[in-house]
Structure 1
Amino acid sequence: MNLSSIRIITAEIERLIKFYEHITGLSVVRYTPDFVELRTSITTLAIGSTKTLQFFGGDDIVQPEQNRSIIIEFKVDDVDQDYERLSAYLQGSIVQKPTIMPWGNKSLLFRDPDGNLVNFFTPVTPEAAGRTERN
């Protein structure tokens, strides 16, 4: 079994598309006006509008902008460079500037426009690099 994707449901899909394309430098694949995917070499971040909830049983199964338990993580080559590149763009949404974590990653934490926590990290110890080698 493999984790294929994580999906964010949003009331403002264009806003999230622009945000994730900007921070990653990747372009989404648009399947419909209400569903896109941002593909990386390992997994996919899917973004769907609230209009897609009709296919899953109705509007009550997911509430956009209510997440406070998930961190969307991107392994990056140099978290300090990404911080310099994005600090002005992320002004007001940075939770933590690049910091070395006890498990050996240097992490930049910020929130997307819907309030989801995003982590850009770079392994900085051999142990951390070994854990993320497949990434």
Structure 2
Amino acid sequence: MNFASVRIITEDVDRLVQFYEKVLGVSAEHPAPVFAELVVPSCTLAIGHSQTVPLFGTGSAVAADNHSVIIEFRVYNIDAEYERLKPFVDEWVKEPTTMPWGNRAMLFRDPDGNLINLFEPVTEAAIKRFSRRG
């Protein structure tokens, strides 16, 4: 089995796509007006309008109602990313901080309130752990 993607359900696909294009530095693919994908080498971030939810079954997802998932992306210079993102991130949760498990991380919210973690392994143990993941 291969991990394929994470999908965010939203009421405003264009707003969220524009935000994630800035964060990820890639252009989205739009196979339908109510759906977009941002493809990076390690995964795909899909964004779907709430109109797509009934296709998966009633009550399967609610837009802008995430309280338990953190979307994480590994970066290669967390402090440079922080400076790059400061102009358009409205809600910072944590500025770059070295965590006890060896990652330097920062957390912020996307326009729908979803929590985003960008991190960089910085200790020898963390670098070794992630070197096995490609």
TM-score range, shorter chain: over 0.9
- Aligned residue number for residue 120 of structure 2: 122
Q: Is 2:75 aligned against 1:76?
A: yes
If the length of structure 2 is used for normalisation, what is the TM-score? 0.94
Q: Aligned partners of 1:70 and 1:56: how far apart in 2?
A: 19
Equivalent pairs, count: 133
Q: Give the corresponding residue for 1:112.
A: 110
Percent identity over the alignment? 47
SS in 2 for 1:61: coil
Which residue does the alignment assign to 2:17? 17
Q: Which amino acid is 1:50 matched to? A: S
Give the letter for the 2:118 counterpart: F
Cα distance between partner residues in 2 of 1:51 and 1:130: 43
Aligned Cα RMSD in Å? Answer: 1.1
- Name the TM-score, length of structure 1 as normaliser: 0.93
SS in 1 for 2:82: helix
Matching residue of 1:47: 47
Shift of residue 62, structure 1, vs aligned partner: 1.1
Given residue 123 of structure 1, which amino acid in structure 2 is its aligned partner?
A: P
Segments of 5+ residues of structure 1 without an aligned counterpart are none
1:95 equivalent in structure 2: 93
Unaligned runs of 5+ in 2: none
